Amino acid sequence: MTRRFLGLIKALVLLACLIPLLHLLARANGLGDLGANPVQEILHTLGKTSLNLILITLIITPLRKETGLIWLVGLRRTLGLLCFCYVVFHALTYIALDQGFAWNSLFVDVTQRPYITLGFISLLLMVPLALTSTNSAQRRLGRRWAKLHRLIYLAAILGVLHFLLQAKIDISDPIFYSIVLLLLLGYRINTWLKSRQAIKNRGNS
């Protein structure tokens, strides 16, 4: 796998991931429209894209292991950072466009509305991950980097729970996302159990 090939793939992934954002911008500027409730449309599109991206980020490792395509790992950072951007835009949409910086009511939301609390914690968890996403941070942190970045699982769980709890009554979409997340987590638990078994077996022999 050449460097140039990976660069190209990364650029394509970046472009693909920007489509939802560009589409929103286009619709906000008169190309098509955002419907009767534009702020909600923006909020929901950004939220959905965040969740899609967090799950796509999590699918990279199993995909690499199953297909042997090592270069896939090179996409993880791009995807993760894009996900973080969408989450930030999503939260900003709520804070600025929807609530108009009504800090008192935002404080009540974060402290008293469980779905917002979970979304907020999920976003907070992603901050250190985004900050330590550089090569140098990775080198500096060494083994601790991998440990730290396991926070992504928690962030994803909280993100899906946030989605589930904000649904009014039709939870079919959140259920679908929960199943995907459980499968992804299941894959890792399975790998982890297997490796522990392997270590144990080695110890016994």
Partner 1 sequence: MLIKRPQDIKASEITPESTFRQRRMLLKTALAMGLIKTADLSAQEDLIPLNQKESGNREEPFPENGRLNNLKPWPSNVSSEPTSFEDVTGYNNYYEFGTSKTDPASNAHTLETHPWTVTVEGEAEKTGTFALEDIIKGHTLEERIYRFRCVEAWSMVVPWVGFPLGDLLKRFEPTSQAKYVQFFTLNDSDQMPGVRYPVLRWPYREGLTIEEAMHPLTLLTVGLYGQVLPNQNGAPLRLIVPWKYGFKSIKSIVRIRFMDEQPQTSWNMANAREYGFYSNVNPDKSHPRWSQATERVLGGNIFSARVPTMLFNGYAEEVASLYTNLNLMTNY
Which tokens go with 198?
């392997």
Closest contact distance (angstroms) between CB of 51 and ligand HEM is 4
Amino acid residing at 153: Y
- For residues 9 and 16, give the distance between their C-alpha atoms in angstroms, rounded to a whole number: 10
- For residues 143 and 132, give the distance between their C-alpha atoms in angstroms, rounded to a whole number: 13
Cβ atoms of residues 47 and 90 within 8 Å: yes
Beta strands per DSSP E along the chain: none
75 vs 116, beta carbon nearer ligand HEM: 116
Q: Which of residues 171-190 bind partner 1 (CB under 8 A)?
A: 172
The contact mask relative to partner 1 for 29-68 (x = CB under 8 A, - = no) is -----xxxxxxx-x--------------------------
Q: Interface with partner 1 includes 169 (CB under 8 A)?
A: yes
Q: Which residue of 51, 85, 109, 181 would you call a contact of partner 1, by CB under 8 A? A: 109
Tell me which DSSP letter residue 29 carries.
T
24 vs 54, beta carbon nearer ligand HEM: 54
Q: Interface with partner 1 includes 26 (CB under 8 A)?
A: no
Task: Tally Cβ neighbours within 10 Å of residue 185.
Answer: 14
105 vs 190, beta carbon nearer ligand HEM: 105
9 vs 117, beta carbon nearer ligand HEM: 117
Phi-psi map region of 69: left, alpha, beta (phi>0 left; psi -120 to 50 alpha): beta
**From the list partner 1, ligand HEM, none, which binds 145 (C-beta under 5 to 8 Å, kind-based)?**
none
Footprint on this chain of ligand HEM (rule: CB under 6 A): 40, 43-44, 47-48, 50-51, 54, 87, 90-91, 94, 116, 119-120, 122-123, 159, 162-163, 166
Counts for the chain of helices (H) and strands (E), in that order: 9, 0
Cβ atoms of residues 9 and 2 within 8 Å: no
Q: Which of residues 149-168 bind partner 1 (CB under 8 A)?
A: 165-166, 168
**From the list partner 1, ligand HEM, none, which binds 35 (C-beta under 5 to 8 Å, kind-based)?**
partner 1
3-state secondary structure of 101: coil
